[in-house]
Structure 1
Amino acid sequence: MFDHVFRPGAIGGLVLPHRVVMGAMHLNLETLDDGGEALAAFYAERARGGAALLVTGGTAVSAAGAGGPSYGIVDDPGHRAALARTAAAVREAGGRIALQLFHAGRYALPGAPGTDGGAPFAPSAVHSRFARATPRELTGQQVLATVEDFARAARTARELGFDAVEVMGSEGYLINQFTAPLTNRRTDEWGGDPVRRLRFPLAVAAAVREAVGPGFPVLFRMSGADLVEDGTPAEDTAALAVALVQAGVDALAVGIGWHESPVPTVQAQVPPGTWAGYARNVKRALRAAGRPAVPVIASNRYNRLAQVEEVLAGGEVDFVALARPFLADPQIVAKSRAGRTEAVDLCIACNEACVDRSFGSEPVSCLVNPRSGHESEFPARLPSPLRRGRYAVIGAGPAGLEAARTLARLGQRVEVFEARQEVGGQFRLAALVPGKAEFGETVRHHVRELAELGVEVRLGHRVGHRDLPLLRSLDGVVLATGVLARRPELPGLALPHVLDYHQAFADPQALGARVAVIGGGGIAVDLAHLLTAGPHTKATPERFLSSHPLTAGGGVAFAPPPPRAPVREVTLMRRGGRVGQGIGPSTRWVVMGELRAAGVRLLTGISYEEITREGVVVRNAAGAAELVAADHVVLASGQEAERDVAQLLERAGVPYEAAGGAAGTEALNAVRATAEGLRAAHRLLGRRRARAGG
């Protein structure tokens, strides 16, 4: 199935068994005060899972280059120790690892280490919407010192036992800022025309090559397209690729977009393979310059090795870097090589526990695999023998499915009880939404894995008093009964055209042409997408790019999606602030743009008066009343924990742990639910171990 994927390849003198690279991800594990235990465990598990070459998240080449307080700095002795431990752990696991050399430039947060409490440093003083600050322009001496910082960091990487280095020159960070007219407005030797704008990345590449010496692999992650107005022109990108190879770079990894770009690049709305053309452009530039043997690495929005096989089969890309898919399943390569692609836990590109967290301080993890980033805390095997116990999981939503497979993976006998006739909980609803079909794939994967682990799933079984004899015989229970739709106190709730969101998702075609949704959270937003979606068409790179037409300007940029004829008139209403609050920041702007393009009306800061046969009467902040005309009114204004079973377990004295909605509805989302399912399973085992005295 994967003739091209599993063909050996080489980057410089580093021979690799296949063509899949694990791309760089900032993890917020880099500065933990644990001696590098969590960082080493994270990378070693992926090396054991078949990743041939792993690239670390960015290590700052200086304190001024750190993207924030959770970034490791190469000059910090504690971080060096963590890096050495990580490199050794990966080598012991049979993998190879490259240290990414990083400088945030104007994307560093104000007050970050090395800025003396002030603004970050950049080629020019151009305001950053990402950091919400205007940086200070580097002096000529500071530019030269930064080049030396990269060289020193590269020497350190080799001393610490790394197999290669990757220079971060993409995604709008410092090196990329030098190549773009938007952010490089200098008139000295480091800017002013295309040749001088490319001088800094070439100086860094040459200095790094000299620092590590011949034979040590140097990768350079360059931008294939900045996707911002006045970004790096395409001809400059091609020239840079050729010049980098001439400066001694062994491979070019091609990144896409800046954090300020108006087009999504890694969200679920982006079809796999959309950005492969930019990697092909780099390869064509090398071929035209007589350097076709230098590997080019494509990246962004692949989650299956079948997609990697397709792009490699074209012959114009040599490797493909996967990042988030290694969070979802560290064994994606090993399972696929063994012909078990159906057993791979797919990345669903939700970004909630990975991309969104990477800009904060909480450890990066994964919605579908909450062990990610916590491998040392939750080992794959129990640290000491524990007799096989019997456990029940009540509820088969995201929290319950995760709890069940965790217990079963750890050798326990598990039964799952689900009141509905199908598993998945609110994931079943999400899977109906355009762009979220792979949420359903996660449910199917869990069901398949539970069957392989011998877990019995009893559907249509609402746990009650009749089950007490069974429950009392168990070693423990995970309560994951989920939530119920909250019904607000409002006149008119009993009218026949009023539905809760479960009913609306169950039969969206039955809803009329005008729908008013009471609520503006994530469920309401998903429902609006479902109700305004046109005829189903398969998302393809060509359709995606055609719906984001190029705008005029010196760089590559995209305009917002054009308005389209609405399928329905949908109004989302919320008492409080903005609609979509709680949706992750890397995704919210995309989905809200789609709602606006679909003509969805957004009402916030209102109060509800009553529901009538004609719609919903609301009152705005100024006190004026308005009728929101609607053929159907949908309640999506919150959730309540289902507590009946909890009370039953408490009265019976059955040991249990709650997870997901059963543990509370505040700040509830799928990331919290799956993480709590994992933790609840481990807590039960810990309680049992404590009772056993060991």
Structure 2
Amino acid sequence: MSTVAVPELAVVSSPWSLGPLHLSNRVVMGSMHTGLEVQDDGGAGMAAFYRERAAGGAACIITGGIAVSDEARGGPDFAVFGVGGADERFRAAVDAVHDEGSTILAQLFHAGRYALAAGMVDRHGAPQRVVAPSALPWAAARGVVPTELTAAEVERTIEDFAAAARSARDTGFDGVEIMASEGYLINQFQSPLTNLRDDEWGGSPERRRRFTVAVVEAVRAAVPDLAVTIRLSGADLMPGSSTDDEVDALVHDLLPLGLDGISVGIGWHESRTPTVQAAVPHGAWLAYASRIARVVRASDHPEVRVIASNRMTDLRDGEAVLADGLLDAVALARPFLADPAIVDRSLAGSFDLVNTCIGCNQACLDRSIIGAPVSCLVNPRAAREVAFPARPTTDPKRVDVVGGGPAGLAAAVDAARRGHHVTLWEASDRLGGQFDLAALVPGKEDYAATVRAARAELADRGATVHLGHPATVADLAGSDAVVVATGVVPRAVDVPGADLPHVLSYEQALRDGVPAGTVAIIGGGGIGVDTAAFLTESPDEARRATEFGARWDVDVAETVVGDVPQRLPAAHRTLRPGPDVTVLRRSGKFGQGVGITSRWVALGRLRDAGVRMVGGVQEYLRIEPGVLWIRDEHGDEVGVPADSVVVCAGQEPALPTGDEADGRPTDGLVTGLQAAGVPVAVVGGARDARSVDAVRATSEALEAVRRLAP
């Protein structure tokens, strides 16, 4: 943590204090639920996870939510102090962070009505209760109606927060963060949507705020010597919920209570306004943090720190946020999944080495929601550091990776980091594969950052990269380990007229553009949805930020909306009205394959644009100039306007074939390597293209290269 900062990050790199804590930089690792909290490993997994982020420069780390009681748990993978070895695990994590010279705060959590308690039992074996200010369920509760807390139970819950704070102190934490945002219990007490009480805890804005005030008072009294912060909702993004004035009044009520900091969150999990998806502009929610900061600065307690968060992925974003001195620090969460060393690399000026969070949510939020182990698409080691330690190899081997898409890059980077002699072979003239295509889709430009970071790290570690060179058995004959990650190619369709010049694969459409006119897209999965977005949405992020604010009626900050370079020539960026685009699908859901927290956003953008989505297609009959003929769900023959047809009908494995070994043709690269006795593994889409999944592909690549070259 002694890195000398580059001038671009003069403020981010400056020291500051958070109550009793003296921190070396202004980057906080925000809370993320990982499931490691309940892993029966004595805390080894959680310790390794946090250690790597502390060693990478995080000056202050906030844990995933720690439930303050059995009934506070959000699901079976939430820990409670004093239950099932939790204290031992947290002590191991705290010690690891302290070993690296960093600090760590325990987030005190109560899910309230957001608890997904089906099948859960408490420590006594009784079914877990779901409790809330009022007996109002939410959409994902699967019919579970929460029990309204009695006045006595409200008082007991306040003491639960205080007791958890004392447990955090006894475990060695440097402080606590009270979770009062994102629609959890404390936030539920504040909102007229979820608090229908007419007692001392509800019935007016002032009484709805009392629970939050009481929790903060109790926690501060319980741990007078620790840092105490609260995560507040800058805006609930729920029609009819707390107003800005009510949130500001809550801030005024809290400031005299001894808080050291306020971290500003945004939105509820059930809000229909997207908050963390890739489609959300960078730094979109800064206006809400700034508003709260102005309230604090104008108060009698201007020393209370205000921390901004949500949709910042680059420390240069953070520098822009902090430049005017209104805000004190930035909290980044998922970027620490993508790159544990984001702080140290950035403060050293090595921005090209930072593996940027792409906002896909697929291995983090989407998994967390269903209680699955959390990781990261672009960093498959995340939350698996014990299984895949970072230590250098003691037996360097020659490792060859065939294919420069996301899976191939994941394998090559991991092997190079551990000191193996890596050569990457890519048949095309550029790295990235499907990520290189995805980066052309509006809102997915960050996908190019993963490719950039991998390219930079391979160069930095002395790996050899061959572009435009399909690998042969002869090239790889002396290898100790070969990972074949050649990915996929678009699947053609067997439809009369599919060979006409106005029929394009999705790869042709994204790389070369689509002429003006109507477009029919065959296939409504994730790639079809992305292609429709490419055809109808502006590549200008600043324009999209303005449109986002207007669409969702929110105050979108423009501080960190930068110029995103577009590789596609402007002449090929032919945008058209949504009604000129028709997406067709035989069966299943539109956007199938897109993550559960992102799919509704992607489809909503297309619907807002007026894109036609036609499901239940029985048959694609023929393609003619200007029209695609289909048999619709009713069995009628219908012509769909189509000056161009883009085929997004799935993919097939792109396995290399036809190479030669010792002058003799082989059945293919893999067969030839096996015959030559070269250890080889096939991963990702090259192994199975039936359900192309980048999370699976990068994870398989990591596992394969570790197996072949420990």
TM-score (norm 1): 0.93
Give, as a single letter, the amino acid of the residue that structure 2 aligns with 1:622. Answer: H
Are 2:483 and 1:472 equivalent residues in the alignment?
no
* 2:676 paired with 1:652: yes
Counting only pairs closer than 5 Å after superposition, residues 190-589 of structure 1 correspond to structure 2 as 190-212=201-223, 214-382=224-392, 385-386=394-395, 388-463=396-471, 467-510=472-515, 512-534=516-538, 536=540, 538-539=542-543, 542-549=546-553, 566=577, 569-589=580-600
| TM-aligned CA deviation for residue 345 of structure 1 | 1.3
What residue number does 2:26 align with?
19
| Equivalent residue for 1:639, pick from 625, 647, 651 | 651
Q: Does the 8 A contact of 2:520 with 2:628 survive in 1?
A: yes
- The amino acid that maps onto 2:68 is V
Give 1:556's aligned residue.
none
Counterparts in 2 of 1:125 and 1:440: CA distance versus 1, 3 Å:
same
Contact 1:170 1:255 in 2 (8 A): yes
User: 1:62 offset after TM fit, Å?
Assistant: 0.9
Q: 1: distance between equivalents of 2:296 and 2:420?
A: 55
Alignment match, 1:44: 51
The range that moved more, 492-501 or 138-147, is: 492-501
Q: Indicate the residue corresponding to 2:558 in structure 1.
A: none
Q: 1-side partners of 2:641 and 2:514: how far apart?
A: 19
Matched, 1:682 2:706: yes
1:628 aligns with 2:640: yes
1:537 to 1:376, Cα distance in 2 relative to 1, 3 A: closer
Alignment partner of 1:103 out of 107, 110, 118:
110
Q: Deviations over 1:197-235 (max 9, x none)?
A: 0111111111111111x2211111111111101111212
What residue identity is the alignment partner of 2:238? V
Report the 3-state secondary structure (helix = DSSP H, G, I; strand = E; otherwise coil) of the residue aligned with 2:514: helix
The 3-state SS of whatever aligns with 2:542 is: coil
Contact 1:393–1:479 (Cα < 8 Å) also in 2: yes
Does the 8 A contact of 1:273 with 1:541 survive in 2?
A: no
Corresponding residue for 2:186? 175
1:519-553 deviations in Å (ceiling 9; x for gaps): 111111111111112474535755532332269xx
Q: Which amino acid aligns with 2:153?
A: Q
Q: Which amino acid aligns with 1:218?
A: V
Would you say the 8 A contact 2:536–2:576 is kept in 1?
no
Equivalent-residue separation in structure 2 for 1:455 and 1:419 (angstroms): 17
- Tell me the distance in 1 between the aligned counterparts of 2:632 and 2:545: 42
For 2:19, give the aligned amino acid.
G
**Deviation for aligned residue 1:610:** 1.7
Q: Distance in 2 between matches of 1:472 and 1:634?
A: 40
CA distance, structure 2, for counterparts of residue 254 and residue 632 of structure 1: 47
Deviations 1:431-474 (A, max 9, x none): 111011111122122111111111111111123xxx33332211
Deviates more, 1:521-530 or 1:240-249: 240-249
Aligned residue pairs total 667
Distance in 1 between the 2:129 and 2:590 partners? Answer: 32
Which secondary structure state, in structure 2, belongs to the residue aligned with residue 67 of structure 1?
Answer: coil
**Alignment identity in percent?**
49
Which runs of 5 or more residues in structure 2 are unaligned?
1-7, 556-574, 658-668
Which string of whole-angstrom CA distances, capped at 9 and with x for unpartnered residues, describes residues 99-138 of structure 1? 0000001111142444954762111122312434432211
Deviations 1:170-199 (A, max 9, x none): 000000000011110100111000111011
Which of 196, 210, 214 matches 1:185?
Answer: 196
| 1:314-371 deviations in Å (ceiling 9; x for gaps) | 2211111111111111111111222222221111111111111111222211122111
Note closer, same or farther for the CA distance 1:282–1:443 as it changes in structure 2 (3 Å cut). Answer: same
Match of 1:554 in 2: none
CA distance in 2, matches of 1:210, 1:119: 28
The equivalent residue for 1:558 is none
Contact 1:657 1:683 in 2 (8 A): no
CA distance in 1, matches of 2:690, 2:37: 29
CA distance in 2 between counterparts of 1:380 and 1:502 reads 36
CA distance in 1, matches of 2:45, 2:539: 46
Q: Is the 8 A contact 2:489 2:651 kept in 1?
A: yes
Which one-letter code corresponds to 1:255 in the other structure?
G
DSSP 3-state at the match of 2:153 = helix
CA contact (8 A) 1:18 1:52 kept: yes
Secondary structure at 2:139 match in 1:
coil
Q: Distance in 1 between matches of 2:128 and 2:96?
A: 38
Give distance in 2, aligned partners of 1:75 and 1:269: 41
- Post-superposition Cα deviations, 1:256-301, rounded to whole Å, max 9, x if no partner, equal 1001112111112222222112112222222332111111111111
Q: Distance in 2 between matches of 1:654 and 1:535?
A: 45
Asked if the contact 1:565–1:598 (Cα under 8 Å) also holds between the matched residues in 2, the reply is: no
Is the Cα contact below 8 Å between 1:276 and 1:298 reproduced in 2? Answer: yes
Structure 1 574/239 Cα, relative in aligned 2: closer, same or farther at 3 Å? same
Matches within 5 A, 1:45-194: 45-111=52-118, 112-114=120-122, 116-117=126-127, 120-133=130-143, 134-194=145-205
2:50 maps to a residue whose letter is: Y
Change (3 A) 1:520 1:582: same
Q: For the residues of structure 2 that align with 1:550 and 1:88, how far apart are their CA atoms?
A: 42
Shift in CA distance, 550/22, structure 1 to aligned 2, threshold 3 Å: closer
CA distance in 2, matches of 1:274, 1:535: 17
CA distance in 2, matches of 1:140, 1:666: 55
Partner of 2:627: 615
Taking the aligned partners of 1:685 and 1:197, their CA distance within structure 2 comes to 59
Counterpart amino acid of residue 90 in structure 1: V
- One-letter code of the match for 1:661? G
CA pair 537-321 structure 1, distance change in 2 beyond 3 A? closer
- Any conservation in 2 of the 1:335–1:344 contact (CA below 8 Å)? yes
CA contact (8 A) 1:271 1:539 kept: no
Q: SS of 2:419's equivalent? A: coil
Give the stretch that moved more between structures: 339-348 or 187-196.
339-348
Q: Which amino acid aligns with 1:660?
A: G
CA contact (8 A) 1:390 1:475 kept: yes
Determine the C-alpha separation between the residues in 1 that align with 2:324 and 2:149. 42
* Partner Cα distance (1:500, 1:164) in 2: 55
- TM superposition shift of 1:619: 2.3
| Structure 2: distance between partners of 1:18 and 1:633 | 52
TM-score (norm 2): 0.91
Contact 1:403 1:678 (C-alpha < 8 Å) held by counterparts:
yes
